[in-house]
Amino acid sequence: MRYLTAADIKKVFSMRQAIEADREALSLYSAGRADIPLRTNIDVPEHNGQSLYMPGYVSSSQPALGIKIVSVYPDNPQKDLPSVPATMITLDATTGVVNAVLDGTYLTQLRTGAIQGLATELLSRSNSSQALLIGTGGQAMSQLLAMLTVRPLKKIYIYDLDQKRATDFAQQAAKKFSRQFAAEFLPIADPDQVVAQVDIITTVTTSHRATFDGQLVKSGTHINGIGAYTPDMCEMPTEVLQKADCIIFDTMDGVLAEAGDIIQPVEKRQLSKNNFTGELGQLINKKILGRTSQNQITVFKTVGTAAVDVVAADRIVKAAQQAKVGTILN
């Protein structure tokens, strides 16, 4: 058995590798090759907590089997612990033996960034040079890296409700990425200042209302909705969804069950299921079309799936085995 910390994973697995793992996972998912049972939730009311168990299996020549354990304990920060601790367990699908334990928080950041990178690579204009990132929480840095990885961005505007956080984040980003990418990281006070000029908008918040003005979105823009992962959250403006030429989800079942961005306008009959083009895996599998002209507005929405966790984790473990990275447990 192998134990992999976030630092171990960083050593052996790049954002580009994560994007390729996600591409495989979502392609197999949409082709019906994934078995993702219903999540099991256990409430721990005495400690104001909940613990979620998300196993999955994805069948291919490199089969991936495992379970992500995610807990939600809102009081944890008072104890200097993360409020959403996560651990990933992988099994060798050919023998059923548990073969690795991975930092689940970093895995989630990496694979969620990579899902967006994949969508941005498939849906945004290839000459996109400006992006807007809304939200600078725990998932944001990976979202930024994913955009930088797939498009030749020159300017990335950074917005957060808390201006100081946006400024700090932009500084951190410059420090982290300026050697690798020729991009400027520009904190801004109001996202609507730049909505009309950027090529890509990525919003990653827990907002309950639109984080930018949809009327300002110009033709040709690609929009990623990464946050808003419950039915009562919403961060993408409904106007944009109404005028979008192409709306793609990571999984149809997941988004229609969990994403308030989509569920709320459907319930209000502002959108119908005919507005939804299909799944990212179907696009990869060439079963549907994505962007077909430079002038179209494209939208991607993700809530995640265990299919991506198990495939990404499996590929990380294989890379770590090859590179002899991680702590070996007898």
Contact status: 57 vs a second copy (CB under 8 A): yes
Our measurement of the distance from residue 98's CA atom to the centroid of its chain's CA atoms, rounded to an integer in Å, reads 26
Contact status: 3 vs a second copy (CB under 8 A): yes
Give the separation between CA 169 and CA 195, rounded to whole angstroms. 19
Size of the site for a second copy (CB under 8 A): 45
Between 66 and 191, CB nearer to a second copy = 66
For a second copy, what does the binding mask look like between residues 13 and 52, x meaning CB under 8 A? ----------------------x-xx-xxxxx-xx-xxx-
Contact status: 264 vs a second copy (CB under 8 A): no
Are the C-beta atoms of residues 163 and 187 closer than 8 Å to each other?
A: yes
- Of the candidate spans 95-103, 153-161, 170-178, 280-288, the one that interacts with a second copy by CB under 8 A turns out to be 95-103
Up-side HSE of residue 229: CA atoms within 13 Å toward CB?
Answer: 12
* 32: Cβ contacts below 8 Å, ≥ 6 apart: none
- Of the candidate spans 90-98, 182-190, 199-207, 217-225, the one that interacts with a second copy by CB under 8 A turns out to be 90-98
* 120: Cβ contacts below 8 Å, ≥ 6 apart: 128, 146, 147, 150, 151, 200, 202, 222, 224, 300
- Of the candidate spans 76-84, 143-151, 280-288, 297-305, the one that interacts with a second copy by CB under 8 A turns out to be 76-84
Contact residue for a second copy among 76, 167, 238, 296 (CB under 8 A):
76
Contact residue for a second copy among 21, 28, 101, 247 (CB under 8 A):
101
SS3 content of the chain, % helix, strand, coil (to 5): 40, 25, 40
Between 25 and 144, CB nearer to a second copy = 25
Give the separation between CA 279 and CA 301, rounded to whole angstroms. 10
Between 44 and 257, CB nearer to a second copy = 44
Between 292 and 327, CB nearer to a second copy = 327
Give the separation between CA 131 and CA 154, rounded to whole angstroms. 8
* 48: Cβ contacts below 8 Å, ≥ 6 apart: 73, 74, 75
Between 63 and 137, CB nearer to a second copy = 63
Give the separation between CA 135 and CA 205, rounded to whole angstroms. 5
Beta-bridge partner residues of 89:
67, 101
Are the C-beta atoms of residues 184 and 209 closer than 8 Å to each other?
A: no
Contact status: 325 vs a second copy (CB under 8 A): no
Beta-bridge partner residues of 271:
none
Closest CA to 106 of 85, 121, 91, 92: 85
Nearest distance from C-beta of residue 110 to a second copy, angstroms: 18
Between 257 and 329, CB nearer to a second copy = 329
Contact status: 9 vs a second copy (CB under 8 A): no
Between 32 and 96, CB nearer to a second copy = 96
Nearest distance from C-beta of residue 255 to a second copy, angstroms: 22
Nearest distance from C-beta of residue 35 to a second copy, angstroms: 6
Q: Which residues lie near a second copy (CB under 8 A)? A: 1, 3, 5, 35, 37-38, 40-44, 46-47, 49-51, 53, 55-57, 59, 63, 65, 67, 69, 71-73, 76, 79, 81, 85, 87, 89, 91, 93-98, 101, 327, 329-330
